[in-house]
Amino acid sequence: MRRSGRADLIIALTISLVLWASAFAGIRLGLRGFGPGQLALLRFSIASLTLLIYALVTRLPMPSPRDLPMLFLMGFLGFTVYHVGLNAGEVAVPAGAASFIIASVPVFSTLLAVVFLRERLTGLGWTGVAVSFVGVAVISVGTGTGLRFEPAALFIVLAAVGESMYFVIQKPFLSRYTGLQLTTYTIWTGTMFMMVYLPGLISQLGHAPLASSLAAAYLGVFPAAIGYVLWSFALSRADVSRVTSTLNLSPILSLVIAFLALGEVPTPLSLVGGVITVAGVILLNTLGKAKQPSLPRRAHNE
């Protein structure tokens, strides 16, 4: 890769990672004025409009009608379930701890791929899965007051499962659509499901603090729209596995941003759980997957 091309890749990747990491703190701020579902709808209505403008400028082709049922399913799982669940969890779970739980998405994706796509894991792979689950359990206990389980963490686990199902289902469609095209279509379809929260959003808009409304606008334009455009650019310029491996940095960035923006300091136990979770994911991604030369594999973007 030429030096200028490498610089463009690094810049795009760095900006997208920072934007995605900032979303966890942005959600906490947005929840001060909106309910979990209403915040998700406001955020992705803005994202959908932003991507619509992008689609018109770039003449983005429309998807095949035969793919619409699966695009709606992916939108529901990857955006409605994921973001409403994440928002509901962050009502009680700090931004940094939430980002560590979401870091377990590759673990759930791998388990689903083992069941439905017949992918295979090595012994170290299964160890990585177990280690990550232990880490999530430690975070769930460590975010409560004292040494107790925080039920809201289950919403974030549900969000991680929904996102994992989205990633597994989307794999065959990446042979027909680019990552950016597929993300755009599924953001639009996922936003349609969120319309059930429209009456509540209308009533909350008149009373929400300005900071919460600005946070929702930021979440829609920057992490949701611009972040995905830059991420897709990075995926088109470099090896997918190397690009996606940088997502392990996201929880660390989230901790720093949450501290600077909200003054949130993770509990020692939740921090330990986060380290355990990420260690399990790294073990799974590096040494855990058996080689399958007869089945081409495609990675995904988050």
Closest to 254 (Cα-Cα) out of 235, 231, 270: 270
Does residue 42 register a pLDDT over 90? Answer: yes
- Residues 5-29 have a mean pLDDT of 92
- Residues 181-185 have a mean pLDDT of 94
pLDDT per residue as tens digits for the range 52-73: 999 999 999 999 999 999 999 9
DSSP H stretches of helix in the chain: 3-30, 36-58, 68-75, 82-90, 95-102, 105-116, 123-142, 153-170, 179-193, 198-205, 210-219, 227-237, 240-245, 250-262, 268-287
Question: Largest Cα–Cα distance in the chain?
Answer: 57
Residues whose CB is less than 8 angstroms from the CB of residue 294 and which lie 6 or more positions away in sequence, other chains included: none
Task: Determine the Cα–Cα distance for residues 96 and 218; give it in Å rounded to an integer.
Answer: 19
Please state the domain extents for the chain. Answer: 3-287
- Residues 269-297 have a mean pLDDT of 79
- Residues 31-35 have a mean pLDDT of 97
For 165-194, b/e burial (b = at least 16 CB within 10 A) is bbbbbbbebbeebebbbbbbbbbbbbbebb
For 263-296, b/e burial (b = at least 16 CB within 10 A) is ebebbebbbebbebbbbbbbbbbeebbeeeeeee
Task: Determine the Cα–Cα distance for residues 231 and 300; give it in Å rounded to an integer.
Answer: 10
Report the pLDDT value the prediction gives residue 276, as an integer from 0 to 100: 94
Residue 5, classed as helix, strand or coil, is: helix
Closest to 152 (Cα-Cα) out of 219, 226, 227, 97: 97
Report the pLDDT value the prediction gives residue 20, as an integer from 0 to 100: 94
HSE, CB side, 13 Å, CA atoms: give it for residue 88: 17
Report the pLDDT value the prediction gives residue 77, as an integer from 0 to 100: 97
Structure-token pair, residue 222: 């920057």
Q: Which residue type does 158 have?
A: L
Q: Which residue type does 244 have?
A: T
pLDDT per residue as tens digits for the range 79-90: 999 999 999 999
Closest to 159 (Cα-Cα) out of 211, 117, 104: 104
Closest to 95 (Cα-Cα) out of 138, 46, 152, 146: 152
DSSP notation for 211-273: HHHHHHHHHIIIIIIIHHHHHHHHHHHS-HHHHHHGGGGHHHHHHHHHHHHH-----HHHHHH
pLDDT band at 231 (very low <50, low <70, confident <90, very high): confident
pLDDT band at 298 (very low <50, low <70, confident <90, very high): very low
Residue 121, classed as helix, strand or coil, is: strand
- 39 in the Ramachandran plot: left (φ > 0), alpha (ψ -120 to 50) or beta? alpha
Provide the 8-state DSSP code for 61: P
pLDDT per residue as tens digits for the range 125-155: 999 999 999 999 999 887 765 556 788 999 9
Report the pLDDT value the prediction gives residue 171, as an integer from 0 to 100: 85
Q: Which residue type does 42 have?
A: L
